[in-house]
Amino acid sequence: MENAVRRKLKQGETVMGMMHFTASPMLLEVMAAAGLDFAIIDMEHSPIDLGSAAHLVRAADAANLTPFLRVPDVDPGLIKKVLNLGVRGIVIPHATVDRCKAAVEACFYPPRGDRGSCPAVRSARYGQADWDRHMGEINNETVIVPLIEDKEALDRIEEIVKLDGVDIIFLGPFDLSVALGVPKATFDHPLMAAALERVVAIASRHDKYVMTSVGDLIDTGYARKILAKGVRMISYSADALVFLTACQRIAALKTAEPSAVAAE
């Protein structure tokens, strides 16, 4: 299965997506119809379980939306199951050097890792794939995405970036701002800006890519500033929060002054 996000990054494109919490195949189709490139199916914070994830991966593939998945922990059994579904990338929350090394072992077939083999899975077209070729293709297309949310990970970011299989570094601004002592700060804050600049510089030296989130506010001006700093991927906040923001704007019409409504 081709990883279209990986291909687009290598071609120099900017890639846009969203965290997916709602377990709605229709919303995945809407994201694809709007022109987004990927969705990160969340199994860390959302109620999505493995059965739901299977249907969401199918929906994403059918809509030509690249499916990534955030696991709650580096659980080799769970990682194997979701990769067997056809997920193209595994997002590792609260990444550390050791957790990323464990993820490499879990995600890749030998000799790169120790992922167990089974041909009767979706990613292998239920036994129809040439197995040796399949293992090579999956090893080439699967990406590990460490979510950098803690100061220790930031301090050891070069070790993480150097790991084989780690192609995309996801700088998580909400948790990272807390870890740096500036809760809720954006990348306009000097500490956050310095962290982003450092990660982008290190990633660029190793031909890796940086992703971050701009939250649920659809602030294209802010997003463009982040892209101008060398970020290649943006993941908007959870689809539920994007929808909430839209609903709040609609609900505000109930009490808005006529002049304010007209201005909208």
What residues are labeled active site?
Answer: 45
Q: How far apart are CA 180 and CA 92, in angstroms?
A: 20
> 189: which 2 tokens?
């804050």
What letter does residue 162 receive in the DSSP assignment? H
Give bridge partners of residue 92 from the DSSP assignment: 146
Distances (CA, A) of 223 to 24, 56, 150, 155, 219: 26, 27, 22, 25, 6
Distance from C-alpha of 248 to C-alpha of 35, rounded to nearest angstrom = 24
Do 163 and 208 contact (CB within 8 A), yes or no?
Answer: no
| One-character DSSP codes across 124-160 | GTTTTS-HHHHHHHHHHH-EEEEEE-SHHHHHTHHHH
C-alpha dist (Å) from residue 96 to 51, 73, 172, 192: 28, 12, 13, 19
